[in-house]
Chain A
């Protein structure tokens, strides 16, 4: 056994007669930020769902029991206030401690004064932060994010990327992040896996130091990486 927190060997997923994922093997270190990119239908969302245990898969699969998840849509419960959403996964401990955790996360997502609002009363970026806070609050070991920023405009998206990096470095979580945006994947990740037709077509280690600044997106290194990944996707 190595120091991998997530360890997958020969993972396959079949849907009806079609094989969606073919013999995928993958190790993820504790605290690593890994992005899955790929064209539509490449299997990136299926891989995330299989890793999170949402869909049946064959092969060897070692994933910690306690995971968090953030989706693009339907991530938060529209019938709960912001604070109730964050508190939903807190089942242990005293009420005061739970309240303290909720307060901490409201602060983390910069919505301290909006705890009693409903998601419908917030902007898209704010709602998505609530979803992330709800996933973080019970202190999972791994967080799975499926195109969490897919519905956001470019400006909000870039702010949210920076914010996510700050949270990630403060909370020391392992993150598996699905996106179709190559810039986003490179900017955020330690490692980018390119999926194509249900297989890992390429793997790129991202060399940029942390903390990262938006400016790296204009460096020649970044653009070279982007081109390589782009070619692997198409």
Chain B
């Protein structure tokens, strides 16, 4: 039942698109029907170019995400809990935060060139902010009574941090991570528009130059599906690692 509910809107959408595209009401070169997009996709998969591009993009995503998430989470927990660190870093971060992450790409290219470090840095930079702000808020809202309770039970700062403050902040961190994952897919595309020789974003821009709308759409579909899958896997995986989160979410 759930599967039908999920699949039905997609099937209806594709069917309508196919019909309209074939009816001649629209320019089929600009709006190729799904069937053509699927055959373009199969061709790209068979030739191996799609796998090569997926691999390149996923690798950038993973490295950039890991970097942005690690730094964002660590700094967020620190600025949320330690006043000195907050005083030191908050003004700086607050100035950088309103920047659209895409706008730093020209600067990043000047610094890092057009290679992998530039792409990974751009992704990490974009991911950092939502993860940081959520970790910061999560660490700030730890109920005082919980900390008092912990203080009577352990003198260890590390145990208090890892077993009380971190889990108390985790529902916020998870929300930040999901925003970060979504942003990383935006950034991998934008980063691959400049000076890439492989990747899903590169695929889309070369298909654009070759006027292969079917290939463009195939690559777009892969990018969209990857993003949705990454978000889904994260949502399922995090509850597997921290089973108690499912109670936190229903409350």
Contact = CB atoms under 8 A, between A and B. Distances in A.
B145 A77 contact: no
Interface string B77-103: 000000000000000000000000000
Nearest to A84: B163
B156 A74 contact: no
Contacts of B154: 88-89, 91
Contacts of A89: 152-154
Contacts of A54: 148, 151
Given A88-B163, A91-B154, A78 B145 contact: no
B146 interface: yes
A79 B145 contact: no
Contact of A120 (B167, B170, B247): B247
Contact of B167 (A52, A79, A91): A79
A49 B149 CA distance: 11
Given A74-B143, A77-B164, A118-B244, A69 B156 contact: no
A134 B170 contact: no
A140 B153 CA distance: 9
Contacts of A135: 152
A52 B148 contact: yes
B152 A75 contact: no
A69 B167 contact: no
A96 B168 CA distance: 29
A91 B146 contact: no
A79 B152 contact: no
A69 B151 CA distance: 10
A74 B146 contact: yes
Contacts of B167: 77, 79
B244 A52 contact: no
B153 A79 contact: no
A222 interface: no
A73 interface: yes
A-side interface mostly: loop
A121 B247 CA distance: 8
Interface string B162-197: 011001101000000000000000000000000000
Contacts of B251: 120
A52 B156 contact: no
Given A78-B248, A79-B244, A88-B163, 12 more contacts: A69-B148, A69-B149, A71-B148, A74-B145, A74-B146, A74-B149, A75-B145, A78-B244, A79-B167, A89-B152, A89-B153, A118-B247
Interface of B: 143, 145-146, 148-154, 156, 163-164, 167-168, 170, 242-244, 247-248, 251
Interface of A: 49, 52, 54, 67-69, 71, 73-75, 77-80, 88-89, 91, 118, 120-121, 134-135, 138, 140
28 contacts: A49-B148, A68-B152, A71-B148, A71-B149, A73-B143, A73-B145, A74-B145, A75-B145, A77-B163, A78-B247, A79-B167, A79-B242, A79-B244, A80-B163, A80-B244, A88-B150, A88-B154, A89-B154, A91-B154, A118-B244, A120-B244, A120-B247, A120-B248, A120-B251, A121-B247, A134-B149, A134-B153, A140-B152
